[in-house]
Amino acid sequence: MNIQTSGLILSTGRTGTMFFASLLQEIFPQAAVYHEAGERSRLINIFTHAHLSGFLPLSVPLWAWQRVIAIDLADCQKEVYIDSNNMVYALLPLKPDLYPGLRVIHLVRDPREYVRSHINWARHRPKSFVANYLTPFWQPNAWLLKEMTWSKWIGLSRFERYCWIWDFKNRFIGQLAESEIPYLRTFFEDFFGGPEPLARFNEMLAFLGLERAIGIEDRFQRPVNPAKGKSFPKWQNWSAQQCRQIQLICGETMHTYGYGNEPAWLEKLKPSNGVAT
C-alpha cells in the first residue's frame, strides 16, 4: 500500500457522487478513484444500519468492509485514494481509523430537492425500488434507532420518511466535524446552479491535496445519473401539508445549513397558509 491520502466523499445519496467520481477519474489518472467501490459496498450499508439498530455487532459491517474495500486499499499503488461513497456514511464515524490519511468531504443537498429526487429515483428505477421499498436495513429506521415511537414511524408517509432520512444521515456524518479528522462541508447547489462551480471544485481538490483544475466549467452543466421520473414536483408546487412536514422533521438541520430562507418558502410557512412554523 502506497496511499498517503484517503478522500471519502460522504452524503445522503442523490448528491452527485457518481458525477464527482467520474470527473475525478478523468482528470486525475494518478489517483485511485472509485464510486461506491463497486456495487459490493451495499452490504456495508445494510450491515451498518442493522448494527445501529441493535441487530448485529460492529464486527459484521467491519467484516464486509474488509472483504469489499480493504483488499483494494492493500493493493493500491497510488498515493491518493478517493471513494465517492454514501454507502459507508454510517460506518466511518464509528471506525474512522479504517483509511490511511483520511480526509472527509461532506456533500450536502437541499432537503427539499433531495426528497424530490429520491422519490422520483426510487419510483422509476427498478433496482432502486427494490432497495428502498423491499430491502431490510437499506435505509435507517427511526423507530429502531429510538428517535421515534413505533406508532409515529409506521404512520409516516414515504415523503416524511425521506425527510427524516436526510436529517439523520447529515447529522450522523456531521459528527465528524467535531473529530480530529480533516473535514470539509460543501454544498450540491454550489456545483450545480451556483455562480462559481469551478472555484468550489478547486476548494475540494485543495482539501484533498490535488492540483487545481482549469477549463472544465461546462462539465457542471452535464448531469450524471439523474432521476428519470419527474412525477414528484419541486417544492414550489408542494401542498401546505408537505411544507409543514419537512419543516417539522428537518427544519433545524436545514436552517443550520442555510436552507429555507427564500421569501417564497417563508411565505408558504405562514400560519395564514395553514402551515405552522
Q: How far is CA 145 from CA 51, 73, 153, 168, 211, in A?
A: 10, 31, 11, 10, 41
Does position 225 have pLDDT exceeding 70, yes or no? no
Q: What is the pLDDT of residues 101-125, one digit of tens each?
A: 999 999 999 999 999 999 998 876 6
Domain definitions of the chain by residue range: 5-273
Bridge partners of 82, per DSSP, are 7, 33
Q: Give percent helix, percent strand, percent coil of the chain, each to the nearest 5.
A: 55, 10, 35
For residue 227, the model assigns a pLDDT of 64
Residue range 5-273 forms a domain whose CATH class is: alpha beta
C-alpha atoms less than 13 angstroms from C-alpha of 144 in its C-beta half-sphere: 14
pLDDT band at 228 (very low <50, low <70, confident <90, very high): low
pTM of the entire structure? 0.93
pLDDT tens-place string over residues 29-65? 999 999 998 667 999 999 999 999 999 999 999 999 9
* Res. 277 pLDDT band, cuts 50 70 90: very low
What pLDDT, in 10s, does the model give residues 128-146? Answer: 778 877 899 999 999 999 9
Please state, in angstroms and rounded to a whole number, the distance separating the CA atoms of residues 59 and 7: 23
